[in-house]
Amino acid sequence: MAYYYPEPSHTFSEYLLIPGYSDAECIPSNVSLRTPLVKYRRGEEPPLSMNIPLVSAVMQSVSDDRMAIALAREGGVSFLYGSQPIGQQAEMVRRVKRYKAGFVPSDSNIRPDQTLRDILNLKERLGHSTIAVTDDGTGTGKLLGLVTSRDYRVSRMSGEERVSEFMTPMEKLITAPEGTSLKDANDIIWDHKLNALPIVTGEGRLSSFVFRKDYDQHKENPNELLDSQKRYVVGAGVGTRDYEERIPALVEAGADVLCIDSSEGFTQWQSRTLAWVRGRYGDEVKIGAGNVVDRDGFRFLAEAGADFVKVGIGGGSICITRETKGIGRGQATAVIEVARARDEYFEETGIYVPVCSDGGIVLDYHITLALAMGCDFCMLGRYFSRFDESPTDKVLVGGSYMKEYWGEGSARARNWQRYDLGGDRKLSFVEGVDCYVPYAGPLHDNVTTTLSKVRSTMCNCGALSIPELQRKAKLTLVSATSIVEGGAHDVIVKDQNTNR
Ligand code: RVP
């Protein structure tokens, strides 16, 4: 006979934290959000930790190199999506690793024989007002000049003028040679009152730009997550099919951590993949696995050698796995059970395997709840997809800006394989949807707000660190009626957007 769980499974919105005693030292600025990313032995330091408990989802519409740089700058990690050709994913890893904080490869470039109209189109499409003029129109061509909005006057020009006629030519530009330090670049910017300083190779090719605003941003990010060579830390998603080719390519490109990405991870496919990694690289390559939703799934993956275990089936905002296949579990219940299994495993073996709560974070406080319930960090898709740095287009829908967001199990995401690998495997059914999410601006501003809420709630619980929150948190299930009471009620709210 089938096994029936005695209790229904619950999700985050059904829980609240009960405040605990906080002393005068318990203020948000004293809270540390540092958390382990991969497993470690009792009494030892984790080989890889994060400064904030957030990772971005292994999804086409969420995690590319731009997102990875923006999130590592805040102290978290992106897992670059694996649903793309191996070489392309490895190149994304390389771009993150090559990125020198403050030195930005130029993505708005034009040839001198193009026109003002082309400049305006480029500006509209990419939103950058500094455009490099290079001989071949690429970001690494020979630098011939720059165009900024100070170089043209749309109202007095026809649009057909050639770029070479109105650009600021090379001989009038201030540039700096490759190898210039960020500090020196910044001094040049200040001395000459520049907005952007082109960095140029010995052969006169454009290497990157240093922007005034980026330098300030760099200084503002004490949490940034760097490897031993001061490069940003980056993760990458892998599957259980082509791992023998994909993993070596990602490792060679410099990926710091991998994650087997699957909606259901309690499988021999995953243990085989983990065994292959351990056989080839020992413990040197870090790889998480998942997803699971119970103790058995956790133990299976921990024993198979996973560096962290990811939890969650069907709770993702774009996920229809529960509707399509009838599998899954309320995310809170899943995290609570798996975190207990993690503690039990730690007691038994002395090995701490971090747990990641994946999907279903809707409101910022859900992150605090997930941490209190025992996870070490959260993976978010929808949340990050709304920001400037996500790979998708910003579009105007019904008068409001939206970003596109689609599930990895949607037809849209899966098509890459059918097209790019030349296969003709039929999509039997989809497990995800293609949708819009409201555009929310820069990642930095949003993450700052979200984490200030997390820190503040932690102080309400008397906790200055995530482990302390896990020890001290008192959680209560709430009735359906009190959930209604939790939002604004019995009033007419003026502006929904400013009240969250
Ligand atoms: P959310 O943050 O709620 O948007 O959820 C993101 C998570 O949803 C991902 O990390 C992944 O586990 C899951 N996902 C991604 N694609 C799909 C799907 O198409 N069903 N689900």
Q: Which atom of ligand 1 is nearest the CA belonging to 312?
A: 12
Within this chain, do residues 74 and 119 fall inside the same structural domain, yes or no? no
Rg (CA), the chain: 25
Last residue of a domain, one of 408, 423, 438: 438
Q: How far is the CA of 90 from the centre of ligand 1 (A)?
A: 22
**Domain presence at residue 284:** yes
Q: Are 209 and 104 in contact (CB under 8 A)?
A: yes
Q: How far apart are CA 493 and CA 486, in angstroms?
A: 14
pLDDT score for 426: 58
The residues that bridge with 403 in the sheet, in sequence order, are 394, 437
Pocket of ligand 1 (CB under 6 A): 57, 59, 312, 316-319, 321, 358-361, 379-383, 407-410, 431-432
Q: How far is the CA of 371 from the centre of ligand 1 (A)?
A: 19
**Domain presence at residue 472:** no
Mean pLDDT by 10 residues, the chain (500 residues): 95 97 96 98 98 98 97 98 97 93 85 93 84 93 93 90 94 92 89 92 92 68 90 96 97 98 95 98 98 98 98 95 94 98 98 98 98 98 97 93 95 73 60 95 97 98 98 96 85 72
**Domain presence at residue 150:** yes
Last residue of a domain, one of 211, 240, 262: 211
Within this chain, do residues 389 and 299 fall inside the same structural domain, yes or no? yes
Q: How far is the CA of 280 from the centre of ligand 1 (A)?
A: 30
**Cα 327 to chain center, whole Å?**
26
Within this chain, do residues 149 and 260 fall inside the same structural domain, yes or no? no
Within this chain, do residues 205 and 230 fall inside the same structural domain, yes or no? no
Within this chain, do residues 334 and 238 fall inside the same structural domain, yes or no? yes
Within this chain, do residues 270 and 418 fall inside the same structural domain, yes or no? yes
User: Collapsing DSSP states into helix, strand and coil, what is residue 62?
Assistant: coil
User: Collapsing DSSP states into helix, strand and coil, what is residue 379?
Assistant: strand
Could you confirm whether 414 is annotated as catalytic?
A: no
Name the active-site residue from 259, 319, 378, 459: 319
Q: How far apart are CA 36 and CA 128, in angstroms?
A: 37
Q: Which of 59, 262, 406, 433 to mutate to test the pocket of ligand 1 (most atoms within 8 A of CB)?
A: 59
User: Which H, E and C letters describe 135-190, residue by residue?
Assistant: CCCCCCCEEEEEECHHHCCHHHCCCCCEHHHHCEEHHHCCCEECCCCHHHHHHHHH
Write the CATH number for 80: 3.20.20.70
Q: Which atom of ligand 1 is nearest the CA belonging to 317?
A: 3
Write the CATH number for 160: 3.10.580.10
Q: How far apart are CA 205 and CA 226, in angstroms?
A: 28
**Domain presence at residue 303:** yes
Q: Give the amino acid at 359.
A: G
Within this chain, do residues 242 and 144 fall inside the same structural domain, yes or no? no
Q: How far apart are CA 96 and CA 51, in angstroms?
A: 18
Task: Count how many domains the chain has.
Answer: 2
Within this chain, do residues 97 and 174 fall inside the same structural domain, yes or no? no
pLDDT score for 285: 98
Q: How far apart are CA 348 and CA 125, in angstroms?
A: 56
pLDDT score for 123: 87
Q: Locate 36 and state its tokens.
A: 């382990």
Distances (CA, A) of 380 to 304, 355, 386: 25, 14, 11
Give the helix/strand (H/E) hosting 400: strand 400-406
Within this chain, do residues 70 and 148 fall inside the same structural domain, yes or no? no
Q: Locate 483 and state its tokens.
A: 């959930």
Q: Which of 61, 62, 318 to mutate to test the pocket of ligand 1 (most atoms within 8 A of CB)?
A: 318
How many CB atoms within 10 Å of residue 14?
A: 19
Q: Are 108 and 132 in contact (CB under 8 A)?
A: yes
Could you confirm whether 435 is annotated as catalytic?
A: no
Distances (CA, A) of 486 to 15, 84, 276, 386, 493: 11, 42, 49, 25, 14
pLDDT score for 164: 94
Q: Are 159 and 123 in contact (CB under 8 A)?
A: no
Q: Under 8 Å CB-to-CB from 362, ≥6 apart: which residues?
A: 12, 13, 317, 382
Q: How far is the CA of 101 from the centre of ligand 1 (A)?
A: 30
pLDDT score for 240: 94
Instruction: Tell me the backbone φ, ψ of residue 485, rounded to 5 degrees.
Output: -65, -25
**Domain presence at residue 21:** no
Within this chain, do residues 230 and 87 fall inside the same structural domain, yes or no? yes
**Domain presence at residue 449:** no
Range of the domain at 62: 34-101+224-438
Last residue of a domain, one of 422, 438, 454: 438
Consult the annotation and say whether 149 binds a ligand: no
pLDDT score for 215: 62
Within this chain, do residues 71 and 166 fall inside the same structural domain, yes or no? no
Name the active-site residue from 162, 412, 418, 435: 418
**Domain presence at residue 7:** no
Distances (CA, A) of 97 to 59, 72, 215, 311: 20, 11, 19, 28
Q: Are 443 and 71 in contact (CB under 8 A)?
A: yes
ipTM attached to this prediction: 0.99
Q: Which of 58, 322, 358 to mutate to test the pocket of ligand 1 (most atoms within 8 A of CB)?
A: 358
Consult the annotation and say whether 316 binds a ligand: yes
**Domain presence at residue 6:** no
Q: Which atom of ligand 1 is nearest the CA belonging to 405?
A: 4
Within this chain, do residues 41 and 123 fall inside the same structural domain, yes or no? no
